[in-house]
Amino acid sequence: MPVDLQALYPRLIHLMLDTVFVVDREDTIVFVSDACEALLGYRADELTGTPITRYMHPDDLEATRASIVRVMNGNAHCDFRNRYVRKDGEIVHILWAASWSDEVGARIGVARNVTALTQAEQELRFLAHHDPLTKLTNRSLFNDRLATALRMARQQRRRLALLFLDVNDFKGINDVHGHAAGDRVLCTIARRLQDSVQAADTVARIGGDEFIVLLTDVPSEDAVYEMVEQIAKVMEQPLGAEFGEVLMPSCSIGVACYPSDGEDADTLLSHADGQMYLKKRRRVRVG
């Protein structure tokens, strides 16, 4: 007995893990498969007869409308991503494959939930440019921002400054209290540095206990050294009771100002690094 495939098609569509949408020329949903409830939180009967644009994330409407025009002009779009708002208010990221059907006078789309994939991609992009422990900018992104800042400073004849910060005796914290405690101290330093600068400035972790700050809005060199004093005072503040017997370590900060201490990235970085080590040696001699 031959298999009646025509009779099987509706059941196959509703068994699909991806969601099938059929939408008419006026953007009204005329059919949606049962998988829609897992995707958007709505039953099929709740969606049918309503405009599909109602469920789109408002920030993605313009790009989605452009994709709709493309599809209705006869060009299939099989790799379009956008966001929808679920019934519970959560945002879902969707990958679409869609085409226009002259036979039924509607566009047919298959929607796949790629929220987890999108979040993983975003995390990978973040980790490519940020320190995984402190979430600060890493060396790679910092170098890019420094290069851009130097170009702008030359064009606009503006000052900028680098602060090179090293944590004194950090190894002792790891040795006595453990690496978990050391990591918490590094995160505290990162947060204090971030809170001490402007939003346009960049704070980066470039080594185990080394940080660097790029100041792009510098009215004068005196203002830079005032900033260094403020940061030093912030760093001297004791740790909270949750740190137990761990004491806040002191920090040595080296400074380089553009253009007086150098006009290129390597010279400025070397100058700030050298100034920081001079302060560390003086601290050792005094101690």
Which residues are tagged catalytic?
A: 209
Tokens at residue 215, please?
């100041």
Distance CA 12, CA 7 (A): 9
Cis-peptide into 259, omega within 30 deg? yes
- Is the separation of the CB atoms in 154 and 264 below 8 Å? no
Distance CA 35, CA 21 (A): 10
Distance CA 261, CA 270 (A): 10
Task: Indicate the residue type of 165.
Answer: L
Which residues lie below 8 Å from residue 217, measured CB to CB, with a gap of 6+? 198, 200, 201
Distance CA 252, CA 268 (A): 17
Task: Indicate the residue type of 170.
Answer: F
